[in-house]
Structure 1
Amino acid sequence: MRSNNLAPNKLDTATFEVRGVKVYYGDFMALQEVNIEIPQRQIIAFIGPSGCGKSTLLRCFNRMNDLIPGAKVEGEINYKGRNIYDSKINPVKVRRQVGMVFQRPNPFPKTIYENIAFGPRTNGYKGNIDELVEESLRRAALWDEVKNKLKAKGTDLSGGQQQRLCIARAIAMKPDVILMDEPCSALDPISTKQVEELCLELKEQYTIVMVTHNMQQASRVSDLTAFFNTETDSSGKRRGKLVEFSPTEQIFDSPSTREAQEYISGRFG
């Protein structure tokens, strides 16, 4: 019998191998078949118009779609050689290794310290919590700004600081992957720059998959870019599809599909 353990059973250069993945909401296919490989320790950007399946696919990587009534995922997503949709895999364990940062900062209504400490402590962390809190805040480039007010509420921080606090909270769980769903859409330009610089530092240790509507952001920070678009099905509904997945410089300078070229040039979207 296969164990729930998500440790890799083979050496693999890909963090995720997506094979024949389709996502349904009820009977509606929201995202048609996707085949893609996500390499280790790089930043991958998902771009495309609204409703094209970017966030839908992102949520597949830590089984967040399981929490949406009527959602169903077909196909395989292999995480370091194991299919995370195998019935024997515990989705809670998946989410410990594949963290997520959402569009709007969502710190817990707790102190800055407890925002970081709560998750590891709840999951039985045996190390020094004080050291973990400091390490996580340092990695999120936030320690120097908050080290003298760790007992203040996380919700009292600025929007950019709150988002970095959420990143620190994800880091504290010791994940391998950080998913980001439009992490800068609610931030001002200075905070956006801080988060982007942080991502470039974090990719030395983590694989980062980011959904963004900001094509300049994708071109600045990502190593690879996946372009998604929509098409109309036989019933007249719009469903998402993966159109192109290329090195970022290539997809922005010389996309291989007309759809990507028209989107990036601003002709639609």
Structure 2
Amino acid sequence: MTTNMQSTARQTETIFRTQDLNIYYGNFLAVKDVSIEIAKNSITAFIGPSGCGKSTVLRCFNRLNDLIKTFHIDGKIFYRDQDLYAPEIDPVEVRRQIGMVFQKPNPFPKSIYENIAFGPRLVGYKGDMDELVERALKQAALWEDVKDKLNAMGTDLSGGQQQRLCIARAVAVQPDVILMDEPCAALDPISTLKVEDLLQELKERYTIVIVTHNMQQASRASDFTAFYNVEANAKGQRTGYIVEYDRTEVIFQTPQHQATQEYVSGRFG
């Protein structure tokens, strides 16, 4: 595995650091030997063919995989130099600090206002809720679209607006990191570009990690890219691993591995 960007990450603050990370479901090794660093206020893209473990690694960063009974890891994941899987760490607090936006927009069956206010209320926010809702919607570039219909149902918005509402919902609890699992997969090209533009604004405040199958999106939107691949054992079990991790322009223009070159140019995957 090539990880040339780690020296770059060290020049800034490192938010996540994985060390010899192996991810299991029961006895099945789903992803192996992941050692990467993710820099603050950057957008990092995870790319690779289906089944290579991109989303599995992403969900380790906010401990969503804990909800799967057979899941366990060995190796380490550090978040701001703290062991994310140490016994004293509260997964619920982890998920407040490290938000998630999913592939399919999933607004709550509530008003636009209540979609945003729900999370802050849950964590005991005592400030001006109207101000917080407005700020979150502005951060998600949605305020101008919805400011006159905050009592309308979030589910009545267009697909692209729903996804931006979900992003606003994520930022409303003031996280440190936003994880995005193929956030544009269900969107049309215009909505996709709006979300990509939004990511550039959000990275001024947040660290973003995004899983995408869209090579153009990864090359346009991210600062760093990790290319995952998959290998099968004699039993046909498929295990993911990182082939190469570097600045995005390196991965797409001068990668160190032939497999990376073939994937980003569309010759396999």
Q: What is the one-letter code of the residue matched to 1:13?
A: E
2:98 maps to 1:108: no
Q: Partners of 2:246 and 2:219 in 1: how far apart?
A: 12
Deviations 1:88-136 (CA, angstroms, capped at 9, x unpaired): 1000010000000000000000000000001110110011111000000
Q: Superposition pairs for residues 46-65 of structure 1, below 5 Å?
A: 46-65=46-65
Could you tell me how far apart the structure 2 residues matched to 1:265 and 1:191 are?
24
2-structure distance, mates of 1:36, 1:17: 6
Secondary structure at the residue paired with 2:35?
strand
Which sections of structure 1, spanning at least 5 residues, go unmatched? Answer: 1-11
Task: Using the TM superposition, give the Cα deviation of residue 234 of structure 1 relative to its aligned residue in structure 2, in angstroms.
Answer: 3.8
- Please list the CA deviations of residues 197-226 of structure 1 after superposition, one character each: whole Å capped at 9, or x if unmatched: 000110011000000000000000100000
Alignment match, 1:136: 136
Give the number of aligned pairs. 259
- What pairs up with 1:39-50 in 2 under 5 angstroms? 39-50=39-50
| Structure 2: runs of 5+ lacking an equivalent | 1-11
SS at structure 2 position matched to 1:89: coil
TM-score (norm 1): 0.95
Secondary structure (helix, strand or coil) at the match of 2:127 reads: coil
Deviation at 1:73, TM superposition (A): 1.8
For 1:201 and 1:207, the matched residues in 2 are separated by 11
CA shift for structure 1 position 69: 2.4
Q: Which residue of 1 aligns with 2:6?
A: none
Cα drift, residue 264 of structure 1: 1.4
Per-residue CA deviations over 1:69-102 (Å, capped at 9, x if unaligned) read 2111222111111011001100001000000000
Query: Is structure 2 residue 38 aligned with structure 1 residue 38?
Result: yes
Counterpart of 1:125 in structure 2 is 125
| Secondary structure at 1:29 match in 2 | strand
Distance 2:184 2:265 in 1: 22
The residue type equivalent to 2:120 in the other structure is: P
Percent of paired sites with the same residue: 64
Aligned to 1:5: none
Query: After superposition, what is the alpha-carbon deviation per residue over 1:129-187, rounded to whole angstroms, capped at 9, x for unaligned?
Result: 11000000000000010011000000000000000000000000100100000000000
Aligned match of 2:8: none
> Counterpart in 2 of 1:3?
none
CA distance in 2, matches of 1:148, 1:67: 38
Which residue in 1 is equivalent to 2:25? 25
* Mapped pair 1:167 → 2:195: no
Q: Counterpart amino acid of 1:88? A: E
* Aligned 1:72-87 pairs, distance under 5 A: 72-87=72-87
For 1:71, the equivalent position in structure 2 comes to 71
State the AA in 2 paired with 1:188. D
Counterpart code for 1:126: K
Match of 2:230 in 1: 230
SS of the equivalent of 2:52 reads coil
**Structure 2 partner of 1:7:** none
- Offset of residue 235 of structure 1: 2.5
Runs of 4+ in structure 1 off by over 3 angstroms are none
Match of 1:103, SS state, is coil
1:98 has 2:98 as partner: yes
Amino acid at match of 2:150: L
Q: Distance in 1 between matches of 2:112 and 2:73?
A: 36
The 1-side partners of 2:234 and 2:84 are apart by 31
Q: Report the secondary structure of 1:210's partner residue.
A: strand
Name 1:8's counterpart in structure 2: none
Task: Quote the Cα distance in structure 2 between the aligned partners of 1:84 and 1:247.
Answer: 25
Query: How far has the Cα of 1:261 moved from its partner?
Result: 1.1
**Alpha-carbon shift at residue 194 of structure 1 (Å):** 0.6
User: Corresponding residue for 1:155?
Assistant: 155
Q: What does 1:153-232 correspond to in 2, within 5 Å?
A: 153-232=153-232
> Match for 2:34: what amino acid?
V
Query: Does residue 15 of structure 2 align to residue 15 of structure 1?
Result: yes
